[in-house]
Chain A
Amino acid sequence: MLAGLDAYTSTFLSALNTTENRINTANEQLSSGYRVNQPSDDPGAIEAILGYQSQIDQVTQTQSNLSQATTMSNVADSALSTASNMLNQLSSIATEGASSTSSATQNASLGQQVQGILKQLVSVANTSFNGSYVFGGDDPTTQPYTFNWSVPGGVVQNNTASVTVAVTNSDGDSLVIPPQTAQQIFDARNADGSVAASNIFQNVYALGQALQSNNQAGIQAAASSITTSIVQLGQATTASGVTLNWLQQSSSSATSKLTSLQSQLSGLRDADAAQAATDLQTAETAQQAAIAAHGTLTNLKSLFSYFG
């Protein structure tokens, strides 16, 4: 029956078109690895996919912020432990200077040592990482202190910024990092701005001055003040430890959050490769069959073919 060959041909072409679309879809899924390659593939999933991707980007950036903060906190922590060693050394110097066997000359030389140690403590307070002063607080580009033995206290404060810059983790909690500024650690003040009893710079300076002038009473007093300062530094070290701990927890929490987000996104967006491969195979077979069938159809003869 050859009636209306055109209508049959257009039906055939439209069916062929459908099959080719199936081949294209399967092909696209296999090559991109994604089930959703354009909005029409699953309009209902677009918002969620973009949402997950946006969260993944956010958590990835948080991880990078946390890791930068961790590096900086490690630098700060090791600076504090250097300072702690120095204070212990000062403590022995004070004991040595306070002993009755130490002469004025010996004490003057010890005073020189203390002066050197104060200089080193200032450089610890000025520890920088990646171009910023770790204990610079909110003003990390200004050097916190300058060593100057000839001024009272032996140091000049250049940076009075407090620290408020907080790192936010992927759970939305934030922590000020590093927790304390150079002033809070080394140059503790009372509420009225006067020098606190535990002020490290002041106590080291006082020790140095007492040793240099061989002031026994001063040396005694300074020796006991250094002990207070050691406690003060111990508190700073503890705070630093807490920070490092928080950073570590935040970082592992971010990692697990990222993994979970990625698996959710993958479930929503990724193609089922096995299914896509099967679809491709099926569609290709269907296409070949349709073309072969159409080929036979065009071989069909009408009655005219049998005329003399």
Chain B
Amino acid sequence: MSSLFATLGTAGNALDVLQQAIGVVQNNVTNATTPGYVTQTLQLAARPFDVEGNLSGGVESTGVQSSRDQYAEQSVWTANQQSGYASQQSASLNQLQQIFDVTGQSGIPGALSTLYSAFSAWSSSPSNATAQQSVLTAAQGVSVAFSQTFSQAQQINSDNNQELTSSVSQLNQYTSQIATLNGEIRTSPGNDAGLQAQLYNTLEEVSNLAPVTVNIQSDGTATVLLGGQSPLVQGVTQNNITLNYTQPANPTYPNATPSAQLLTPQGQDVTSLVTQGTIGAGLTFANTTMPALLGSGSQQGSLNQLAQGVADTVNNLLTNGQISAGPPAVPGVPLFTYSAAAPTGIASSLAVSSTITGSQLAAINPGAGVANGNATALANLATKPDTNLNNLSFSQFYGAVAADVGQQASTASRNASATSAALNQAQSLRAQVSGVSLNQQATQLLQFQESYQASAQLITTINTITQSLLSVMQQAG
């Protein structure tokens, strides 16, 4: 008779197990849209069953299994690093390219063109006061155009630096969260799907910021390495990364904007490890893209190069010319001034000489003895190759700089769409592998419901049988 009661016990136990299974389904369904959450499955196993050996069988749970796929997570992180880099780079470059005029009618090319035209008009009537004044006004326009473009570029640079600062502090915040989560995971019993979801969600956020390698330890904690080398999180220990601005050793241009670097708490420079993620893009922009325009410790910057080229060439022609053939001959004076002490700030310091007047513009070319020879030479600068600017004319040099930024922006924009598509693909692959499928959960719920009802019915039936057995005993008694 013991087996009849054992069967009753087994059926009762099955109800408990099925309740757990329904609980897991409930948790899955309610967390279907929770970031980082993956489908959990209660593992069911049949108990040993032997009629003769009095083993009554039944069902038991062998624990909750997570459907997390490390490979799918890893590909999302990799795609996220690339997408973070490309989209950040595309956004910055897109902003940067807006400061470059492509019509030739405004900005630096427009101002240069106006200056050439003023030189040309002045060359046809060199002693005309209005024509002379136009040259001074146009030169003023050139200096304003350079300093405006320079300050716009500086603004974009400083915006980028601010974003970089906030991205680095976000990274530190996330890694500190991971360290805290690691601590909770160590002490929590079993595989807490909620903690795991938080951990993986944070890891995904980190991968958008910087290239990290994640190793999951046997105790479930995550070790996060920056660029695969420098530890950000190890167990409950977190290493804060600091953003620092510094000049290289023995800079050619000591007054230039310093370059950005990332330091570990031990003071180790890990800048070169950060080649992906939004922080990687911020570093590339701050240390490569902007210095090419604004200058750095090791280069003058194309805007400064162009500003100096224009000023030097114009001044050189004017000072070699004559204001009056005399006798006595009056040599020309420079039109532009700039701070030669700061070669990386010439685009900003370029100005029209405060002492020059219209009548002091040297129109005479003393060599050829032509009264407007110098003025004509100045007007011809429009197309004249400049030896200091790779034998390009000013407008060509500017065009090359703008085209370079445009090319970078165009490539970055293409990369941004490509990597964003790759990220979407990786995410959707991961969702297929480990995401919560409501239909699947619904079918499971139906199955468990039926099993539950059947088991309950079983108990009722066995109970009836037991009752009838008991009544037989009573009658016999």
Q: A2 CA to B128 CA in the complex, in Å?
A: 80
Q: A174 CA to B120 CA in the complex, in Å?
A: 13
Contact A39 B437 (CB under 8 A): no
Least CB distance, B414 to chain A, in whole angstroms: 10
Which of B100, B383, B443 contacts A39 (CB under 8 A)?
Answer: B100
**A37 in contact (CB, < 8 A):** yes
**A65 in contact (CB, < 8 A):** yes
Give the interface residue-count category, chain A: 35 or more
**B432 in contact (CB, < 8 A):** yes
Which of B406, B420, B437 contacts A41 (CB under 8 A)?
Answer: B406
Contact B406 A304 (CB under 8 A): no
Give the residue name and chain of the A residue nearest to B365 (CB): A164
Contact B431 A6 (CB under 8 A): yes
> Looking at chain B's contact residues, is the secondary structure mostly helix, strand, loop, or mixed?
helix
Q: Given A39-B403, A138-B371 in contact, is the A68-B124 Cβ separation under 8 Å?
A: yes
Contact B400 A39 (CB under 8 A): no
Contact A58 B431 (CB under 8 A): no
**B223 in contact (CB, < 8 A):** no
Task: Report B214-234 CB contacts with A as 1/0, cut-off 8 Å.
Answer: 000000000000000000000
- Name the interface residues of A15-63: CB closer than 8 Å to any CB of B: 18, 34, 36-44, 46-55, 57-58, 60-62
Contact stretch, chosen from B5-13, B109-117, B152-160, B162-170: B109-117
Contact A65 B409 (CB under 8 A): no
Contact A47 B120 (CB under 8 A): no
- Name the interface residues of B259-311: CB closer than 8 Å to any CB of A: none
> Looking at chain A's contact residues, is the secondary structure mostly helix, strand, loop, or mixed?
helix
Residues of B within 8 A of A242 (CB): none
Least CB distance, B438 to chain A, in whole angstroms: 4
**A154 in contact (CB, < 8 A):** no
Give the residue name and chain of the B residue nearest to A137 (CB): B371
Residues of A within 8 A of B438 (CB): 2-3, 302-304
Q: Given A140-B127, A164-B370, A302-B438 in contact, is the A50-B427 Cβ separation under 8 Å?
A: no
Least CB distance, B31 to chain A, in whole angstroms: 12
Contact stretch, chosen from A116-124, A165-173, A222-230: A165-173
**A7 in contact (CB, < 8 A):** yes
Q: A138 CA to B322 CA in the complex, in Å?
A: 13
Contact A43 B404 (CB under 8 A): yes
Which of A10, A38, A58, A64 contacts B116 (CB under 8 A)?
Answer: A58
Which of B100, B376, B430 contacts A168 (CB under 8 A)?
Answer: B376
- Name the interface residues of B430-457: CB closer than 8 Å to any CB of A: 430-432, 435-440, 442-443, 446
Contact B400 A47 (CB under 8 A): yes
Q: A235 CA to B189 CA in the complex, in Å?
A: 114
Q: A165 CA to B123 CA in the complex, in Å?
A: 8
Q: A304 CA to B413 CA in the complex, in Å?
A: 42
User: What are 15 of the A-B contact pairs (CB < 8 Å)?
Assistant: A4-B432, A5-B431, A7-B424, A18-B417, A41-B406, A42-B406, A43-B403, A43-B410, A48-B399, A50-B399, A51-B396, A54-B395, A61-B117, A131-B128, A132-B127
Shortest Cβ-Cβ A-B pairs, 5 listed: A4-B431, A39-B406, A53-B104, A303-B442, A47-B399
Given contacts A6-B35, A51-B399, A61-B116, 8 further A-B contacts (CB under 8 A): A39-B407, A40-B413, A50-B395, A55-B383, A58-B382, A69-B124, A163-B371, A302-B439
| Partner-B contacts on A (CB < 8 A) | 1-8, 10-11, 14, 18, 34, 36-44, 46-55, 57-58, 60-62, 64-65, 68-69, 131-132, 138-141, 163-168, 174, 302-304, 307
